A and B are shown apart, each in its own frame.
Chain A
């Protein structure tokens, strides 16, 4: 029962760890009429305690590193982390910068990577839909 209800409506938390806003805007574009990710039951929630899927953008700056870890720990299990954009995946556009950790996976475990700088909304949507499948498996495992 829980499985069925939960996997139909995963809630998203979006956190910016030092991105250029390009990918953030594409995440916002997802929520709005043209792409409208709500038809997959996804709702953007600002509270980590309610979130199931974390959409992280940005290469993780030194100052937001600890905040990201806190946020990750506050999110209840099972959870899924999606790194949106090239800079969240491996930090490459900011290769020369001194204040970045080079990617989300250096700080917290990541399940899905979305390529592109900026990543297209279609790509994020694809990742999110794939993510639902992965998340379903996680919920099933947790319930067993």
Chain B
């Protein structure tokens, strides 16, 4: 587990223990087009949206939060299907069939990324 992941996990745990308990709305992933991905945890807390944003690498092992919120499991499985990210102990195959294209939401890399 890298430092960033431990941080992510701790923050989310602290968030889930707040009172009144925040409701998890969604886990969003988005391609940054340079091999890293935005991972956004969206909560509904005291009548408004609170989000936690992280940047993860393609091959990071991300800790699943399915033990904090059971409903997060499906959201994580969807991200595995759509982007090919890895969550600890979660398997994909949620939406896609073996005959469907793999990681359909990955976008073409930026050309500039090569020079950097």
A and B touch in the complex (CB under 8 A): yes
A contact residues around B99 at 8 Å (CB) = 62-63, 65
Please tell me the size bucket of the interface on A.
under 10
A contact residues around B100 at 8 Å (CB) = 62-63, 98-99
Cα A62 to Cα B102 with chains together (Å): 13
- Interface code A42-74, partner B: CB below 8 Å = 1, 0 otherwise? 000000000000000000011101000000000
B contact residues around A62 at 8 Å (CB) = 97, 99-100
Cα A126 to Cα B99 with chains together (Å): 36
Cα A65 to Cα B104 with chains together (Å): 19
Cα A62 to Cα B100 with chains together (Å): 6
- Would you give the shortest CB distance from A21 to chain B, in whole angstroms? 17
Determine whether B4 belongs to the interface, using a CB cutoff of 8 Å to chain A: no
B contact residues around A61 at 8 Å (CB) = 97
Cα A128 to Cα B97 with chains together (Å): 33
- Would you give the shortest CB distance from A51 to chain B, in whole angstroms? 25
- Would you give the shortest CB distance from A40 to chain B, in whole angstroms? 37
Cα A98 to Cα B96 with chains together (Å): 11
- Interface code B98-116, partner A: CB below 8 Å = 1, 0 otherwise? 0111001000000000000
- Would you give the shortest CB distance from A142 to chain B, in whole angstroms? 34
Cα A6 to Cα B46 with chains together (Å): 62
The list of the 8 closest CB pairs from A to B, nearest first, reads A63-B97, A62-B97, A62-B100, A62-B99, A98-B104, A99-B100, A98-B101, A98-B100
A residues near B, CB below 8 A?
61-63, 65, 98-99
A-B contact pairs, 17 of them (CB 8 A): A61-B97, A62-B97, A62-B99, A62-B100, A63-B96, A63-B97, A63-B99, A63-B100, A65-B99, A98-B100, A98-B101, A98-B104, A99-B96, A99-B97, A99-B100, A99-B101, A99-B104
